[in-house]
Amino acid sequence: MGAFGIFELESFQSSEVACKSCDGTGRKTRRICIYREKTGFSPRKMMSMSRNLLQATRGAGSVISRSKHTLPQLPYDYAALEPIICREIMELHHQKHHQTYVNNLNAAEEQLQEALQKNDASKVIALGGALKFNGGGHINHTIFWNNLSPERSDPSKELKEAIDRRFGSFDNFKKELSTITVAVQGSGWGWLGYNKKTKQVEIAACANQDPLEATTGLVPLFGIDVWEHAYYLQYKNVRPTYVQAIFDIANWKDVSKRLELAQKS
Q: Which long-range contacts (CB under 8 A, 24 or more apart) does 116-124 make?
A: 116/3, 116/4, 116/47, 119/3, 119/4, 119/5, 119/20, 119/21, 121/5, 121/6, 121/7, 121/21, 121/22, 121/28, 121/43, 122/31, 124/7, 124/43, 124/47
Residue 154, pLDDT score: 97
Q: Which long-range contacts (CB under 8 A, 24 or more apart) does 40-46 make?
A: 40/132, 40/210, 40/215, 41/128, 41/132, 41/214, 42/12, 43/7, 43/12, 43/121, 43/124, 43/125, 43/128, 44/7, 44/8, 44/9, 44/10, 45/214, 46/128, 46/131, 46/132
pLDDT in tens, the chain (265 residues): 333 222 222 222 323 233 333 334 444 333 333 334 444 555 555 555 555 554 554 445 444 334 899 999 999 999 999 999 999 999 999 999 999 999 999 999 999 999 999 999 999 999 999 999 999 999 999 999 999 999 999 999 999 999 999 999 999 999 999 999 999 999 999 999 999 999 999 999 999 999 999 999 999 999 999 999 999 999 999 999 999 999 999 999 999 999 999 999 8
**Residue 184, C-beta contacts closer than 8 angstroms, at least 6 positions apart:** 190, 205, 207, 226
Q: How far apart are the first and last CA of the chain?
A: 30
**Residue 102, C-beta contacts closer than 8 angstroms, at least 6 positions apart:** 69, 70, 71, 134, 138
Residue 67, pLDDT score: 80
Structural domains of the chain in order of their starting residue, each with its CATH number: 1-39 (no CATH), 157-264 (3.55.40.20)
Neighbours of 201 (CB within 10 A): 23
Q: What angle do CA 151, 202, 72 make, to 5 degrees?
A: 45
Distance CA 135, CA 41 (A): 13
Residue 32, pLDDT score: 34
SS3 218: coil
Residue 80, pLDDT score: 99
